[in-house]
């Protein structure tokens, strides 16, 4: 069987982290099995769908590197087909018109609640003669679902899940205005698109049973379901828009790399032995349902940071430079000049060893673009106090006479100075670092000297050494 999966978000908001994981799993599953991965926008809810949200979803998918096969399907454009299916169901006696008013329905639920039953429609129009229909009500079309027996979902993740049919009411297929509901639309679209495997959040598990009844009524083959546990917020509750669920672009803005997000999401609800850092290629090779867990997981930013740091170290310098440039420019409030970019380029190999996110890279790169005289942070200020200026004046003599300005030569030079002066290496390195960068967190001192170049380095040192102690 050819595997065809899909990701079917509703465009009522951004692409949030749970949706992104669902998309990733479906994408991985399709790629692993050499099948297709489709994207369908579920914009059945005309009122709540927005073009901005659709754009955000598409952008998010692209940023994550999840490419889909074929054209994007817009569910709303299939409305006629959905209605046609409803009419067929009606003609076959598998659906019926229901003339209940909203008030009646509300009353029904009140009563059910009071009696401790499920909040279900009681099927009062199921076998009622249409001649009794009130003229003032636009009827909805409901599925005539079986009332006896049970519906079993053979779920790839959850196993066999049984629902008693008397617990499932007759769901609305067509609204009073003739538009299809989600329940109808998903089933028809999944069928028409030939979707073979449906992987989605387990908040849809209950829906699956009712959808199964619809497949059955139409005589269609059922896709294979796989309901994956949800990602919860730090407090263990479902992630929702007002509950810590951020759009995927928020993660981008926070400086996370798509490969890091992918890796972290992959490990939420799926595992492959003790493997932690899993490349996308490996993920495609390994991903299958047997690695999926059944219990919900929580999103842990600390772990994401760690993973992101790993991928930053793995990234090539130019990519990182491109990502750092805009933030750096914004932070220092000016466009970057040629010299700035040269320095950033030279510094990136050292910078990326100690950054967990792009903003951190930016932060750590600021010293490169600072103009003299440098502002000192607290630690640096104390490092250049006291005898430091004198010491720096002496070391600058050594530095000045250095012919070759590279890491090894500078290393030898500064160590020679320390030896000559009979002081510990750290005693000279600390003031030097402070004078050169103004801060405590920096790349190695020889890297800093190399990156800044001889002229700038000596100038920065002179700013301190010539200051009256």
Partner RNA sequence: GGUCCCAUCGUCUAGUGGCCUAGGACGCUGCCCUUUCACGGCGGAAACACGAGUUCGAACCUCGUUGGGAUCACCA
- Does the active-site annotation cover 241? yes
| x/- map, 257-276, RNA, by CB under 7 A | ----------xxxxx-xx-x
Question: CB of residue 317 vs RNA: minimum separation in angstroms?
Answer: 16
Applying CB under 7 A, which of residues 189, 305, 340, 363 lies at the interface with RNA?
Answer: 305
Question: CB of residue 335 vs RNA: minimum separation in angstroms?
Answer: 28
Q: Confirm or reject binding of residue 303 to RNA (CB under 7 A).
A: yes
CA dist 388 and 429 (Å) reads 11
Quickly tell me which residue has 């049919």 as its tokens.
165
| x/- map, 274-293, RNA, by CB under 7 A | x-x-------------xx-x
CA dist 391 and 427 (Å) reads 9
Residues 315-334 touching RNA, rule: CB under 7 A, are: none
Residue 281 parent element (H or E): helix 280-286
* Three-class secondary structure of residue 392 per DSSP: helix
Q: In the complex with RNA, which residue's Cβ is closer, 172 or 195?
A: 172
Give the helix, strand, coil percentages of the chain, each rounded to 5.
50, 10, 35
* Nearest in space to 465 (alpha carbons), one of 415, 401, 391: 391
By CB atoms closer than 10 A (0-12, 13-18, 19+), residue 200 is buried
Question: CB of residue 337 vs RNA: minimum separation in angstroms?
Answer: 25
Q: In the complex with RNA, which residue's Cβ is closer, 258 or 431?
A: 431
CA dist 435 and 456 (Å) reads 11
Residues 367-396 touching RNA, rule: CB under 7 A, are: none
Question: CB of residue 48 vs RNA: minimum separation in angstroms?
Answer: 6
Residues 26-85 touching RNA, rule: CB under 7 A, are: 42-45, 48, 75
Residues 144-173 touching RNA, rule: CB under 7 A, are: 158-159, 161-164, 167, 172
Residue 284 parent element (H or E): helix 280-286
Q: Confirm or reject binding of residue 425 to RNA (CB under 7 A).
A: yes
Rounded to 5 degrees, what angle do the CA atoms 231, 237, 240 make? Answer: 70
* Three-class secondary structure of residue 417 per DSSP: helix
CA dist 194 and 3 (Å) reads 9
Q: In the complex with RNA, which residue's Cβ is closer, 234 or 397?
A: 234
Q: Confirm or reject binding of residue 433 to RNA (CB under 7 A).
A: yes
Applying CB under 7 A, which of residues 32, 175, 216, 454 lies at the interface with RNA?
Answer: 175
Q: Confirm or reject binding of residue 443 to RNA (CB under 7 A).
A: yes
**Beta-strand relationship, 224-228 and 197-201:** parallel
- Per the DSSP assignment, residues forming a β-bridge with 172 are 142
Residues 93-132 touching RNA, rule: CB under 7 A, are: 100-102, 105, 109, 113, 116-121
Question: CB of residue 180 vs RNA: minimum separation in angstroms?
Answer: 8
Residues 209-228 touching RNA, rule: CB under 7 A, are: none
- 378, HSE (Cβ side, Cα atoms, 13 Å): 0
Q: Confirm or reject binding of residue 176 to RNA (CB under 7 A).
A: yes
Please state at what angle helix 182-192 crosses helix 205-218, rounded to 10 degrees.
Answer: 60
Q: Confirm or reject binding of residue 294 to RNA (CB under 7 A).
A: yes
Catalytic residue (one of 111, 113, 164, 241): 241
Q: In the complex with RNA, which residue's Cβ is closer, 30 or 432?
A: 432
Q: Confirm or reject binding of residue 242 to RNA (CB under 7 A).
A: no
Q: Which residues are catalytic?
A: 241
């Amino acid at each position: 069987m050819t595997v065809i999966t899909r990701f079917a978000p509703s465009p009522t908001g951004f692409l949030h982290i749970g949706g992104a994981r669902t998309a990733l799993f479906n994408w991985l599953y399709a790629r692993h099995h050499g099948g297709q991965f489709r994207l369908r926008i579920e914009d059945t809810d005309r009122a709540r769908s927005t073009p901005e949200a659709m754009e955000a979803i598409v952008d998010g998918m692209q940023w994550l590197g999840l490419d889909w096969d074929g054209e994007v399907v817009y569910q709303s454009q299939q409305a006629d087909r959905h209605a046609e299916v409803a009419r067929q169901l009606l003609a076959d006696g598998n659906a019926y018109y229901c003339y209940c008013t909203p008030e009646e329905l509300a009353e029904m639920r009140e009563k059910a609640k009071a009696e401790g039953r499920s909040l279900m429609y009681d099927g009062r129009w199921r076998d009622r003669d249409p001649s009794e229909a009130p003229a003032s009500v636009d009827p909805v079309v409901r599925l005539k679902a079986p009332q006896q027996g049970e519906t079993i979902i053979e779920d790839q993740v959850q196993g066999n899940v049984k629902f008693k049919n008397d617990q499932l009411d007759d769901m609305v297929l067509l609204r009073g205005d003739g538009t299809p509901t989600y329940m109808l639309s998903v089933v028809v679209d999944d069928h028409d698109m030939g979707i073979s495997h449906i992987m989605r959040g387990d908040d849809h598990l209950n829906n699956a049973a009712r959808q199964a009844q619809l497949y059955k009524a139409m005589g269609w083959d059922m896709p294979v379901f796989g309901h994956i546990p949800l990602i919860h917020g730090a407090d263990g509750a479902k992630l929702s828009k007002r509950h810590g669920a951020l759009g995927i672009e928020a993660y981008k803005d926070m400086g996370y790399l798509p490969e890091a997000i992918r890796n972290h999401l992959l490990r939420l609800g799926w595992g492959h032995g003790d493997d932690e850092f899993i490349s996308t290629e490996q993920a495609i090779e390994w991903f299958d349902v047997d690695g999926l867990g059944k219990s919900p997981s929580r999103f842990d930013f600390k772990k994401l940071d760690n993973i992101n740091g790993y991928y930053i170290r793995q990234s090539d310098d130019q990519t990182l430079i491109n990502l750092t440039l805009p933030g750096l420019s914004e932070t220092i409030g000016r466009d970057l000049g040629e010299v700035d970019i040269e320095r950033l380029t030279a510094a990136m190999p050292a910078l990326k060893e100690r950054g967990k996110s792009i903003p951190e890279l930016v932060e750590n790169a600021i010293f490169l673009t600072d103009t003299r005289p440098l502002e000192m942070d607290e630690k640096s200020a104390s490092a250049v106090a006291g005898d430091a200026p004198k010491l720096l004046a002496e070391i600058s003599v050594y530095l000045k006479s250095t012919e070759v300005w590279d890491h090894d030569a500078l290393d030898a030079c500064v160590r020679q100075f320390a030896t000559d002066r009979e002081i510990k290496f750290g005693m000279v390195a600390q003031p030097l670092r402070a004078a050169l960068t103004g801060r405590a967190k920096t790349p190695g001192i020889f890297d800093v000297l190399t990156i800044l170049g001889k002229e700038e380095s000596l100038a920065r040192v002179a700013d301190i050494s010539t200051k009256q102690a």
